[in-house]
Structure 1
């Protein structure tokens, strides 16, 4: 039934899904805590293997990945979850040759940054936490900067003890490494669709913007040009293509593409594949590269986040215009426009489409004796019951007061009568609670008219169905009558 737009429905479902965090059963919680440890361990090993001799890691994804997992699933931020993550950090260092004191010193700083980041992100609204407002990326950047700064203050001492590096140099290196990984990797987790069940996965997928392959192809070409041409300006080559992607695809695909480009850029610089016109890969070069990569990532992420907020606003405005605020059925103008288009299709004129008029019996008496609050409750309850019977491609609208209209697609008159009987039964089964106690029984009357070659005008069909509705009223209500029947 077309009782709301695809975008409006997906946005409502997304907000509800994001607002309620996933609650894991004990067995599932234990499994995911173990999985968390494995993921953090693997990410740490990857970072350690990228560590030049006597320097910090060129890539350190573990902190951003851990923070992202905890934000998306706060139930993992339990004592068991934090302890498992801490053990994974230390074991990764020990497995790659570090001594115990060094491993503990370095990873206290890592854990401190994640704790700070988690505390800050939990204070954000759901919309900002999932990068769906205009300033969300700026808030994410601010929280990431504070988390990176907190970790760097502790990390500088650890690096001084482990590698003998000057504390000022260690602080800058740690800060830029943390910042680039948070800004590049964390948005992938924040914008990722819920995959724990179909209801949560649907909204995020539904809000994705369909686009052509040209933005993606231009991104590949720009990255290839950066490698081929080189020089300091090669950093900026992918920016126009990333902005094009941000305006063409959904938020989550853009976060993934941005992360891939930025991570590959860091690898290319560290390995010398991206020639920046400097001799060797000094720590100063890596620091500048990390800062440049951070700023590069902010551009497409901000554009994609703003575009997502814009589409969400348009969806809400469209829903407010097209749908009755009380019953969430199509408003009169929207119903007439869509019903006229459906009735005018060749398939409808050849039969198989039926128009119905529905009216709540004795509704004026309900308002007069029970009050308008109960009347509104009756309208909401009846509309919900009607929608529960109809299919996804049927139309239902509120024409005014207690009067509704329905268009059944691909239905013969005999099948339409069966649907009408199910509608009568669904409403008849309702019991509306009264404020003073007790229940209110509700019934409806239905009139139907079939679309035919001679009778394919919506106004004429509604008039014919309305006449049949009055016949149902005259026959005692709570029944259905067909035009010409």
Structure 2
């Protein structure tokens, strides 16, 4: 199957042009995030929300190819341009954004030292690692940023350091997980059994409803503890939803809480919004976010483990076809569900002269043949069809909602694709293979899967007796298509 990268390489549009678009997009994203932060800035204060650093770090960790000199330059220009367009002096823009970039650099270096599963919050301690890295990145940015704030704006250095650090920390902890927890390319395949079970059960809307109600209650009641009102609902979300969804919800709640406190919409029971109050609120939001994120991270690790175990049990390791027991169970369930909707066909496929291949070329060559034939069959089938390895070189296929002519065409397509295989061996030789197929149709009063497979097996025996490399159909053993000849 052609990957996205291969498509890029083969297209007329150069790969370097795509990389340039990504770098330009990186700069535009950072610029938009900076403008959002600048416009959230209350009078006389640092920005109440500053998502740019967390977004930049998240994009670089997800796409390390962007961490090139051109990528860093694009981000730096976006930072400086945003400040210059909103009235900052050139010197202040350079100094303040050097601090921003320093924090991102520290965070990127530390994240890239972590194993992939920790980097994407798929391990129990991953959130604590993320928090530790966020602290170190925040300290790096604050050390330089507090000096710049003191020099250009006259703020006491200790006050500037604490304000910068808490702003960095809360934005890293509530925004960065959204990027880290985004589904990975292999997640859809590995988590298919768990995803099917979740889809069958449906999505529970009550955790989100309770989250909305808790946020409304926080605004109506107010007081110092109001920022903690959504925590039970977020924990409920962490137990019911996937990690990425929890990270998105936590980011929304965390950012809205910061804006609500800084703008006075959320009343904390103080006469004025002192720096200590804002600092305490930011730290509170940061620490409260760790609980739901940790629960969701542990649950993601559990789901991932279940998916891997399920795949190991349900699928044959060598061919990635269903294991015998799983094929029988799923086929029986599929027959029960589809029997009244249309014809059902079973195919039995056997690789011709497979024992001779093992004896002549060795079992490693036999394994390669099995893998190549299995892949060929999987590509020829629809997602609704089932294929399993029953043992040795014997495979079974169950087709639903197909006409007899359609089923015959599927069998012919598989046979033709197997004939076209040229399998490379370790010694440089190429090995050709053929297969024989038997087809049987479930009768309206069919007695079930075992009888259907037995009929297909009899047709397979007829195909082998007639010279192999052909298709036969039960019950009379005549060619299933317009006369497939042997080779």
* Shared fold (TM-score, shorter chain, > 0.5): yes
The SS at the match of 1:344 is helix
| Aligned position for 1:426 | 417
User: 1:328 aligns to what SS in structure 2?
Assistant: coil
1:37 aligns with 2:27: yes
Aligned equivalent of 1:97, options 87, 98, 103: 87
Alignment equivalent of 1:325, drawn from 308, 317, 320: 317
The equivalences for 1:248-267 within 5 A come to: 248-267=240-259
Contact 1:132 1:306 in 2 (8 A): yes
Inter-CA distance 44–415: structure 2 relative to 1 (3 Å threshold): closer
Distance 1:68 1:203, change over 3 A: farther
Aligned residue among 379, 382, 385 for 2:376: 385
Where structure 1 has 5 or more consecutive residues not aligned to the other structure, the ranges are 1-12, 14-22
CA shift, 1:204, in A, is: 11
Cα 1:200–1:402 change in 2 (3 A) is closer
Q: Rate the CA distance shift 1:27–1:271 in 2: closer, same or farther, 3 A.
A: same
Q: Match for residue 483 of structure 2?
A: none
- Which of residues 232, 237, 241 in structure 2 aligns to 1:245? 237
Q: Partner residue of 1:372?
A: 363
Residues 218 and 241 in structure 1, CA contact (< 8 A), matched pair in contact too: yes
In the superposition, relative to structure 1, how do residues 401 and 436 fare at CA in structure 2: closer, same or farther (>3 Å)? same
> How far, CA to CA, are the matches of 1:278 and 1:95 in structure 2?
35
Distance 1:138 1:97 in 2: 38
Match of 2:299 in 1: 307
**What is the aligned partner in structure 2 of residue 18 from structure 1?**
none
Identify which of 320, 323, 348 aligns with 2:339. Answer: 348
For structure 2, list consecutive stretches of 5 or more residues without a partner in the other structure: 4-12, 477-487
Q: CA deviation at 1:81?
A: 2.2
User: Which deviates more, 454-463 or 236-245?
Assistant: 454-463
Cα offset, 1:379, TM superposition: 1.0
Q: What is the match of residue 430 of structure 2?
A: 439
Q: CA deviation at 1:53?
A: 4.3
Structure 1 match to 2:9: none
How far did residue 404 of structure 1 move?
0.9
Contact 2:181 2:243 in 1 (8 A): yes
1:48 aligns with 2:44: no
Provide, for residues 300-335 of structure 1, a one-character-per-residue CA deviation record: whole Å limited to 9, x for no partner: 211222211111110110111111111111111001
Return closer, same or farther for 1:344/1:232 CA change in 2, 3 Å cut-off: same
Indicate how the Cα distance of structure 1 residues 481 and 324 shifts in structure 2: closer, same or farther if over 3 A, else same: same
CA distance in 2 between counterparts of 1:41 and 1:475 reads: 72
CA distance in 2, matches of 1:204, 1:300: 24
54, 58, 61: which is aligned to 1:64? Answer: 54
Change (3 A) 1:30 1:461: closer
CA contact (8 A) 1:343 1:456 kept: no
Q: String of CA shifts for 1:186-214, please: whole Å, max 9, x gaps.
A: 112222357xxxx7896699787652221
Counting matched residue pairs gives 459
Question: Which of 265, 269, 273 is equivalent to 1:281?
Answer: 273
Deviation for aligned residue 1:168 = 1.7
Range with greater deviation from structure 2 (348-357 or 446-455): 348-357
TM-score normalised by the chain length of structure 2: 0.88
In 2, Cα distance between equivalents of 1:75 and 1:453: 58
> Who is 2:75 aligned against?
85
Pair 355,45 (structure 1): closer, same or farther in 2 beyond 3 Å: closer
Q: Is the CA contact 1:472–1:479 (under 8 Å) kept in the aligned structure 2?
A: yes
Q: 1:361 to 1:26 in 2, by over 3 A?
A: closer
Aligned to 1:16: none
Q: What are the superposed Cα offsets for residues 1-23 of structure 1, whole Å, 9 maximum, x if unpaired? A: xxxxxxxxxxxx9xxxxxxxxx9
Secondary structure in 2 matching 1:391: coil
Q: 1:366–1:374: 8 Å Cα contact kept in structure 2?
A: yes
Kept after mapping to 2: 8 A contact 1:55/1:163: no
Higher relative contact order (CA 8 A, sep 6+): 1
The offset of 1:299, in angstroms, is: 1.6
Supply the distance in 1 between the matched residues of 2:266 and 2:340 (Cα, whole angstroms). 64
- Paired position in structure 2 for 1:138: 128
Deviation, 1:467, is 1.6
